[in-house]
Structure 1
């Protein structure tokens, strides 16, 4: 029997990830087995979850995934004592048009799993109004239950007392209050937090967060507020077609944005995955059937990628006879040139004609539904793929055959069609699930 809890907030930037990591590590330190999940499309937080718990974390997404897929993914928490689902953005924030089984909101997952929500509230610049916000979230949607609140970044004992009293008057439990504490701030970058693998001191930071939170939050009360959850292991796996039998996967600090559930599904379908590092000037395994370049931060490593001749020549040789696919950052590297934030243009692999620039940043963010106009590895023309796009690059040229007709969550057609040239294909969206 596990205790299930969703950690959410009224908005982004309130402290959900820090509290999730602290609770997970504190309970793990006490001898409990903790399993984390991330609601919505996010590559970075699950790696932090794994660092805190010692167990792989995966994404669950109501816009892109059906209920059977979500149930299958969540079933990995069957043997845990505590299961935490960290939300994204605000509790009810999703897209306007419903997807497979929801809008992508954290509330969808909370209602689907019947887990109560632990709210992180930042009352900076307010006092009793924080209680009105919490009460509004509690009452907004039937079927979504509120466990209680943890206050974050309280200014003083007097400030805490005012907010606590208002929350208790509203019938909302307060499990603890945290003052500002710079030592547990996670460094950020333009796509979110700096990746866990890039932070040598991440273990110490999580330990400090766990110590800090354990001193100020009633962990036993939080645990008692969670739902008793006894799921049955899912009978079937994910319905995901691997792009090949033997997959060469680019994997290093520049190419790290690949969903864990996708890799697990590929392996479960019998695929073999070998990794290589473009930053270490390595090419794909010549014995592989297909090469996959995930997204990440190639713009931060563009000079090094451009200088790594063995990687570039190895990839070009591979693409002469076998498929190569790139997602977002990987797509940019398959292109002709990438201009970095300083306006310096770097030559990429030239397998596609795509030219991109970070000199003038423009955010592209949202769910994507793509209908393939031509095949790509693992999928035939006509396949419908659900994914997510998040980058700050601008297209300077996209001259090749469009890979797909791509719609955003409202149904509008967007310009980021992806490309195909010979054996090379690429998309700006990251694949999450096939549309059944």
Structure 2
């Protein structure tokens, strides 16, 4: 049983390849729509934690991931609906090229599993293709025609031309695309004044350069407002059909997990049957809620908004701790979670915070729950690139020269 369909205007911004400017255009579009007074729900295809930080600055709402690998295809529309609660429009930034998904799909999975195209189909959302047109002319029409024909299940509503060289360049491209019936919703000029620095995993996280990031997002919003047809894009978004799904709910998700049926798609029926059966964390001494500290700040920026929502729904009191700034754990901390990020970029400051490192080591030594992944494990190591860390784990971590990506 699915409740009333979700009538939410929505767009997916995709590209032929990585590096076409999706994040620039998407973040600018989010900021421009917000400047019009719209409540914009930001989403990102895949496990990327960096781009959502810029989306959050642009919209004032948490950036949300739509990851068909980690969450499963059946959960994506419900998670999308949950994140978009109260929004006027949802904007989804794609990942890599439009049809680029996992390298080796499992048996039964489509060849483009977890791609932007896959997510767009699951959301029944129109796609706007952001194309880097540097050095391109009439041949661009052949490229776009190929993307339109490759999967007819998608609604490729039009394109935004990025890095346009001149007004004449725009005219040539627009005329070529008109010949094949493709609408152009914007022509973004080459803009050197708006620069967002990158490193090996993409953009430098917004939390590491907040004042500059806020300024960049504001300038991107002005750039996109001046160079794109916002009214036309809104018409496309509002033409998206109602989405038949129930919004994900953390309390219901906990109940499903407790029942051993976390992958069930029809959550409304299960929730009605289970009532208030969602598990809750046991209270701490004195009857107060269990206090869970979650590492944050510039060194630990990788995390999902739903993680905190699930902990809160389970009855935990979730508090933040910044290992770069806080020299103690929050008072009454019962458990600690340290997620991903870039501790190697802040190793000196992390090492200098000797008081917090010693407290975390003592906290773990007395058997308190500590959950860490990725960067969190580096912080719990004895050392990172020779610099002292928390020494909870009897290992020494060293950053290698080769970047490894994957699930």
Q: How does 1:289-304 map to 2 (within 5 A)?
A: 289-304=334-349
SS in 2 for 1:65: coil
SS in 2 for 1:257: coil
Task: For 1:258 and 1:235, locate their aligned partners in 2 and report how far apart those are by CA, in whole Å.
Answer: 18
In the other structure, the counterpart of 1:322 is 368
Q: How does 1:394-433 map to 2 (within 5 A)?
A: none
Measured at CA, do residues 4 and 101 of structure 1 come closer, stay the same or move farther in structure 2, by a change above 3 Å?
farther
Q: How does 1:125-204 map to 2 (within 5 A)?
A: 125-197=135-207, 198-204=209-215
In the other structure, the counterpart of 1:84 is 91
SS in 1 for 2:240: strand
Q: CA RMSD in A?
A: 2.3
SS in 2 for 1:182: coil
Q: Which is richer in strand?
A: 1
Q: Which is richer in helix?
A: 2
The runs of at least 4 consecutive aligned structure 1 residues that moved more than 4 Å come to 99-102, 229-233, 240-245
Measured at CA, do residues 132 and 81 of structure 1 come closer, stay the same or move farther in structure 2, by a change above 3 Å?
same
In the other structure, the counterpart of 2:316 is 271
SS in 2 for 1:71: helix
Contact 2:79 2:248 in 1 (8 A): no
Task: For 2:161 and 2:31, locate their aligned partners in 1 and report how far apart those are by CA, in whole Å.
Answer: 19
Task: For 2:388 and 2:338, locate their aligned partners in 1 and report how far apart those are by CA, in whole Å.
Answer: 17
Measured at CA, do residues 211 and 325 of structure 1 come closer, stay the same or move farther in structure 2, by a change above 3 Å?
same
Moved more, 149-158 or 228-237: 228-237
Task: For 1:335 and 1:53, locate their aligned partners in 2 and report how far apart those are by CA, in whole Å.
Answer: 36
Residues 1:354 and 2:354 aligned together: no
Q: How does 1:6-45 map to 2 (within 5 A)?
A: 6-45=12-51
Q: Aligned residues, how many?
A: 361
1:285 to partner: Cα distance: 3.7
Task: For 2:248 and 2:115, locate their aligned partners in 1 and report how far apart those are by CA, in whole Å.
Answer: 26
SS in 2 for 1:311: helix
Provide TM-score, normalisation by structure 2: 0.82
SS in 1 for 2:397: strand
Contact 1:183 1:205 in 2 (8 A): no
Per-residue displacement from partner, 1:155-205 (whole Å, max 9, x unpaired)? 223322222222111221111211111222222122211222222033332
In the other structure, the counterpart of 1:283 is 328
Per-residue displacement from partner, 1:309-330 (whole Å, max 9, x unpaired)? 1111100110022122221111
1:89 to partner: Cα distance: 0.8
Measured at CA, do residues 223 and 24 of structure 1 come closer, stay the same or move farther in structure 2, by a change above 3 Å?
same
Task: For 2:223 and 2:295, locate their aligned partners in 1 and report how far apart those are by CA, in whole Å.
Answer: 38
SS in 2 for 1:148: strand
Provide TM-score, normalisation by structure 1: 0.77
SS in 2 for 1:366: coil
